[in-house]
Amino acid sequence: MSANVDTAKARELHRRALVVDGHVDTLLSIASGERTLAERSTKGHVDLPRLAEGGVDVQFFACYIEPQHKPDRGLRRAMQLIDVFHRELAANQDRMVPVLKAADFEAAKGAGKVGAVLAIEGGEALGDDLAALRNLHRLGLRSLGLVWNQRNLIADGVGEVRTHGGLTNFGVEVVKECNRLGILVDVSHLSDEGFWDVLGVSTKPIVATHSNSRAVCEHRRNLTDDQVRALAKNGGVMGMNFAPSFLVNLDTPGFEAKSEQDYRRMVKGKTSVDSVVRHIDHLMELVGPDHVGLGSDFDGSGATPDGLEDVSRLPALSEALLARGYDEEVIEKILGRNFLRVFREVVG
Ligand SMILES: [Zn+2]
pLDDT digit string (tens) for 70-111?
989 999 999 999 999 999 999 999 999 999 999 999 999 999
One-letter amino acid of 57: D
pLDDT digit string (tens) for 18-60?
999 999 999 999 999 999 999 999 999 999 999 999 999 999 9
3 Cα: distance to centroid of ligand 1 (angstroms) = 34
290 Cα: distance to centroid of ligand 1 (angstroms) = 23
CA angle 3, 295, 198 (to 5 degrees): 140
The mean pLDDT value for 55-69 works out to 98
**Predicted pLDDT of residue 197:** 98
- 223 three-state secondary structure: strand
Q: Domains of the chain, with CATH numbers? A: 18-310+328-346 (3.20.20.140)
pTM attached to this predicted model? 0.96
**Predicted pLDDT of residue 259:** 80
201 Cα: distance to centroid of ligand 1 (angstroms) = 23
297 Cα: distance to centroid of ligand 1 (angstroms) = 7
pLDDT digit string (tens) for 299-328?
998 899 999 999 999 999 999 999 999 999
Report the C-alpha gap between 25 and 62 in whole angstroms: 6
pLDDT digit string (tens) for 236-270?
999 999 999 999 998 655 556 778 788 888 888 89
Q: If residue 184 lies in a helix (H) or strand (E), which one and from where to where?
A: strand 184-186
137 Cα: distance to centroid of ligand 1 (angstroms) = 20
12 Cα: distance to centroid of ligand 1 (angstroms) = 31
334 Cα: distance to centroid of ligand 1 (angstroms) = 20
Report the C-alpha gap between 207 and 235 in whole angstroms: 9
80 Cα: distance to centroid of ligand 1 (angstroms) = 19
37 Cα: distance to centroid of ligand 1 (angstroms) = 20
Mean pLDDT taken over the chain? 95
Name every residue whose Cβ is closer than 8 Å to that of residue 246 and which is 6 or more positions away in sequence: 211, 212, 217, 219, 221, 222, 297
Name every residue whose Cβ is closer than 8 Å to that of residue 131 and which is 6 or more positions away in sequence: none
211 Cα: distance to centroid of ligand 1 (angstroms) = 9
219 Cα: distance to centroid of ligand 1 (angstroms) = 13
Give yes or no for residue 6 having a pLDDT over 90: no
97 Cα: distance to centroid of ligand 1 (angstroms) = 24
The answer to whether 269 touches 238, Cβ cutoff 8 Å, is no
295 Cα: distance to centroid of ligand 1 (angstroms) = 10
Q: 325: how many CB neighbours lie within 10 A of its CB?
A: 8
96 Cα: distance to centroid of ligand 1 (angstroms) = 23
pLDDT digit string (tens) for 138-165?
999 999 999 999 999 999 999 999 999 9
292 Cα: distance to centroid of ligand 1 (angstroms) = 17
189 Cα: distance to centroid of ligand 1 (angstroms) = 7
- 134 three-state secondary structure: helix
304 Cα: distance to centroid of ligand 1 (angstroms) = 14
220 Cα: distance to centroid of ligand 1 (angstroms) = 12
148 Cα: distance to centroid of ligand 1 (angstroms) = 7
301 Cα: distance to centroid of ligand 1 (angstroms) = 8
**Residue 12 — very low, low, confident or very high, per pLDDT cuts 50/70/90?**
very high
71 Cα: distance to centroid of ligand 1 (angstroms) = 18
The answer to whether 181 touches 101, Cβ cutoff 8 Å, is no
62 Cα: distance to centroid of ligand 1 (angstroms) = 9
**Predicted pLDDT of residue 316:** 97
Q: Which residues pair with 293 in a beta bridge?
A: 239
The gap between the terminal CA atoms of the chain, to the nearest Å, is: 41
5 Cα: distance to centroid of ligand 1 (angstroms) = 33
66 Cα: distance to centroid of ligand 1 (angstroms) = 10
One-letter amino acid of 179: N
29 Cα: distance to centroid of ligand 1 (angstroms) = 15
